[in-house]
């Protein structure tokens, strides 16, 4: 059928012409096996029949008005011979007039409606049907006539109106546009909820892998995890878009499987490989992986791979996505799409890790508070503290077993009292105290102790420093080890070793950072526990030494019995202030001291045996120095006896009188024969204990020590309040014997007794006493 171009001047013309051209064009395409001699370019409008359409009343229906001008008609081809005049008053339906090529199709349709008064619905149906059935013409028109700027504007409008469906595509197909824009919000909300429920590096990684693979279009994919500190150790896990990331486990990849993976990781850039290009290094087809992704005929060999490395914040490759295609090879555009996604995905993983770091810091703060509480609770026992801290460490990194080695630099050995602690939550573990020693240069723990560096070993048996004897003896299989030094002031005091993560994973960088923070508290706790343990040991030694000292500085029981059995009366005038103490021996002086005590305070109120033992022990604790000896102490006590005996007005109450007499008898106990200044300048331990009145403080402490020994407390019959009061008076009196304090007081006393002073000494004034 021969066809012609024409111009439509009514709605019916547009519709009939569009429908007719579809029929004629389709018929010609179906029945013509090759191009006809008069084949038209798709750039030209399909022919529209002329003069066949009916015209409504009042419109141009005359055929004469539709004839073209003769001078132009000669230049037209035979396909244009029936077309009408291209006058400005006429409008070509599909070919814009000169000067209107930049108008869109919708603008042309608007001009049609305004020119001929067409309805919007009728015009829209006609134009849409026409363009839907003539895509070649539409493509040719857009390419040749529409400017690039306008095409870009159309493109961005299209992106804003539609979004990419993130569902995993079928095998080898790219992601298609989803035109249901109302599903954007539910999909986004669902993705946010999934990440909130399980926000982790792996969860973000799976979403990134799904996005990259769906955009590129692959048959299957898998992800490899790399360890920069151990380049030869690579693990892989499979994600099919439906796997629960919390249940994923990592498995070590075979060496021949990761040759190209390591190459892509080293390049830090995408890598495309086809089987025919590199058959030697091309890995074998993972048929099990293809079954997981439900690839049609999973037994077929895959021929093309695209590797996409994922960079971490430290600038090293952390993961590599391996994408497989069976037939279609990967092109440069696929590589570009994958690389672009990788950039933003790496940022997403980085900020995810930052969020997790903050969350981990908060959890770590709570965790360390529990550790500090436990430290103070278990400070009394170093072994219990070590066991408790190791339990916390196991919880922190989720380790199956733990050991702690203390460094013995004297013998160059590692010492462990808590070795191979098993993870048994909810059970109290009472360990048998067994000390294990090993050379400091042996095993991984020895290497950490000498180097001071943290070691994270994912495969223990591949490390030459690993000691397999423990596994062979116990039957336990060691897989991964995290070993860290415990330092105090830059010195390694111990090594803690975690073995095998309980979820069949390996210790990662997060475990290292967390454990490094924990090790600081571990070191402080261990250091103070050792100090506390050392103090406790010193205290035990002190108690033993005090027991020995008390034995040698305490009077013998036979001496007490001898003193009590001696009933001979003492013929001594004790009330004589000028009594010569050197006329009596020590035994007689002790009897005189007991008699003075009886006359002043009534011996019936005291236990005679206790008082006798006290006096004899005081005598024994005076050293045989030239002046500050027992003779001097007895002489001062006798002088105080005379003063108190002749105090008829009883200026001192009973408590003060008792304190004054006891302090006089004990005021120079264990005197070394040196002055306080000498003790300070020679850096004596006593001077370190007491900054002022060194010897006087020591005399008082020896007095209290004697009173606290069994059978020596002469004040046991009085109340605790009175006992504290008496001790306070004794302390005040003994400290007043320091000459540094005595001479200023002597000047004050002289002023009070000066006849020219208006204020005389008065016992009623507190400051004068």
Binding residues for Zn(2+): 632, 667-668
Going by C-alpha positions, the residue among 259, 226, 230 that lies closest to residue 459 is 230
- Number of other CB atoms surrounding residue 696 within 10 Å: 24
* Residues in Cβ contact with 268 at an 8 Å cutoff, skipping those fewer than 6 apart: 309, 311, 317
Q: Residue for token digits 């003769």?
A: 70
Whether the Cβ atoms of residue 323 and residue 221 lie closer than 8 Å to each other: yes
Q: b/e map of 94-107 (b: 16 or more CB within 10 Å)? A: bbbeeeeeebebee
Under DSSP, the state recorded for 628 is S
Going by C-alpha positions, the residue among 300, 147, 121, 306 that lies closest to residue 216 is 306
Q: Cα separation of 423 and 419, whole Å?
A: 12
Under DSSP, the state recorded for 302 is P
Instruction: Please provide residue 406's backbone torsions phi and psi, each rounded to the nearest 5 degrees.
Output: -95, 140
Under DSSP, the state recorded for 442 is S
* Residue 699 is a catalytic residue: no
Q: Which of 628, 671, 697, 712 is catalytic?
A: 628
How crowded is the C-beta side of 620, counted as CA atoms within 13 Å?
17
> 483: which strand partners?
455, 497
Under DSSP, the state recorded for 692 is S
Token representation of residue 149: 């700027």
Q: Residue for token digits 């006539």?
A: 145
Annotation: binding site: 632, 667-668
Q: Cα separation of 761 and 769, whole Å?
A: 9
The strands making up 436-439's β-sheet, listed across from edge to edge, are 436-439, 413-422, 399-408, 491-501, 481-488, 455-457
Q: Cα separation of 349 and 202, whole Å?
A: 9
Under DSSP, the state recorded for 285 is P
Tell me the chain's radius of gyration from C-alpha atoms. Answer: 53
Q: Cα separation of 147 and 102, whole Å?
A: 7
Q: CA 678, 679, 685 angle in degrees (round to 5)?
A: 160
Strands (E), 116-233: 163-164, 177-178, 220-226
The residues that are catalytic are 628
């Amino acid at each position: 059928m021969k066809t012609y171009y024409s111009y439509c001047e009514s709605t019916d013309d547009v519709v009939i012409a569009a429908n007719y051209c579809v029929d004629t064009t389709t018929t010609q395409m179906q029945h013509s096996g090759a191009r006809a001699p008069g084949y038209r370019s798709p750039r030209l409008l399909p022919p529209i029949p002329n003069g066949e359409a009916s015209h409504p009343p009042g419109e141009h229906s005359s055929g004469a008005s539709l004839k073209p001008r003769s001078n132009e008609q000669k230049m037209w081809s035979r396909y244009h011979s029936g077309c009408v005049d291209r006058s400005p008053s006429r409008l070509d339906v599909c070919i814009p007039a000169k000067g209107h090529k930049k108008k869109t199709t919708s603008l042309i349709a608007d001009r049609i409606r305004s020119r001929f008064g067409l309805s919007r619905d009728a015009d829209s149906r006609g134009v849409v049907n026409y363009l839907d059935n003539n895509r070649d013409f539409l493509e040719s028109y857009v390419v040749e006539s529409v400017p690039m700027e306008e095409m870009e504007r159309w493109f961005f409008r299209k992106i804003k109106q539609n979004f990419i469906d993130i569902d995993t595509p079928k095998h080898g197909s790219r992601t298609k546009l989803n035109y249901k824009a109302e599903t954007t919000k539910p999909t986004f909300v669902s993705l946010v909820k999934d990440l909130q429920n399980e926000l982790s590096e792996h969860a973000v990684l799976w979403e990134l892998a799904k996005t990259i693979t769906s955009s590129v279009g692959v048959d299957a994919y898998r992800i490899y995890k790399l360890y920069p500190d151990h380049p030869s150790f690579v693990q892989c896990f499979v994600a099919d878009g439906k796997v629960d990331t919390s249940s994923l486990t990592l498995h070590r990849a075979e060496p021949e499987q990761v040759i190209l993976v390591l190459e892509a990781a080293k390049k830090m850039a995408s890598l495309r490989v086809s089987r025919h290009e590199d058959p030697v290094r091309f890995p074998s087809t993972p048929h099990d992986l293809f079954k997981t992704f439900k690839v049609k005929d999973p037994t077929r060999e895959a021929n093309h791979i695209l590797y996409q490395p994922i960079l971490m914040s430290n600038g090293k490759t952390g993961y590599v996505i391996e994408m497989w295609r069976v037939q279609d090879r990967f092109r440069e555009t696929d590589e570009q799409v994958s690389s672009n996604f990788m950039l933003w995905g790496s940022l997403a993983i980085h900020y995810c890790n930052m969020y997790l770091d903050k969350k981990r810091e908060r959890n770590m703060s709570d965790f360390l508070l529990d550790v500090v509480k436990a430290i103070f609770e278990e400070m009394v026992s170093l072994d219990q503290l070590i066991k408790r801290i190791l339990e916390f460490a196991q919880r922190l990194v989720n380790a199956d077993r733990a050991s702690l080695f203390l460094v013995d630099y004297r013998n160059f050995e590692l010492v462990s009292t808590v070795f191979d602690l098993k993870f048994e939550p909810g059970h109290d573990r009472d360990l048998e105290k067994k000390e294990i020693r090993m050379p400091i240069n042996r095993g991984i723990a020895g290497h950490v102790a000498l180097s001071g560096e943290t070691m994270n070993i994912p495969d223990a048996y591949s490390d030459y420093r690993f000691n397999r004897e423990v596994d062979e003896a116990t039957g336990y299989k060691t897989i991964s080890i995290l070993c860290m030094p415990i330092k105090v002031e830059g010195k390694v005091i111990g090594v803690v070793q975690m073995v095998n993560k309980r979820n069949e994973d390996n210790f990662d960088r997060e475990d290292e950072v967390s454990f490094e923070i924990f090790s600081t508290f571990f070191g402080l706790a261990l250091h103070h526990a050792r100090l506390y343990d050392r103090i406790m040991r010193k205290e035990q030694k002190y108690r033993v030494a005090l027991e020995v000292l008390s034995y040698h500085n305490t009077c013998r029981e036979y001496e007490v019995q001898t003193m009590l059995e001696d009933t001979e009366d003492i013929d001594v005038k004790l009330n004589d202030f000028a009594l010569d103490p050197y006329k009596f021996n020590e035994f007689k002086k002790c009897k005189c001291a007991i008699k003075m005590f009886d006359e002043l305070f009534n011996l019936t109120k005291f236990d005679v045996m206790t008082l006798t033992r006290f006096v004899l022990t005081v005598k024994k604790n005076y050293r045989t120095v030239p002046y500050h000896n027992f003779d001097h102490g007895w002489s001062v006590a006798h002088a105080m006896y005379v003063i108190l005996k002749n105090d008829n007005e009883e200026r001192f109450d009973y408590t003060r009188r008792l304190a004054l007499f006891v302090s006089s008898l004990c005021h120079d106990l264990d005197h070394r024969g040196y002055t306080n200044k000498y003790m300070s300048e020679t850096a004596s331990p006593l001077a370190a204990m007491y900054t002022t009145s060194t010897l006087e403080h020591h005399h008082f402490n020896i007095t209290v020590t004697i009173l606290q020994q069994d059978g020596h407390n002469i004040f046991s019959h009085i109340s605790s309040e009175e006992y504290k009061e008496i001790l306070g008076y004794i302390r005040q009196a003994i400290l007043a014997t320091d000459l540094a304090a005595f001479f200023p007081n002597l000047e004050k006393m002289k002023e009070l007794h000066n006849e020219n002073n208006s204020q005389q000494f008065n016992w009623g004034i507190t400051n004068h006493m």
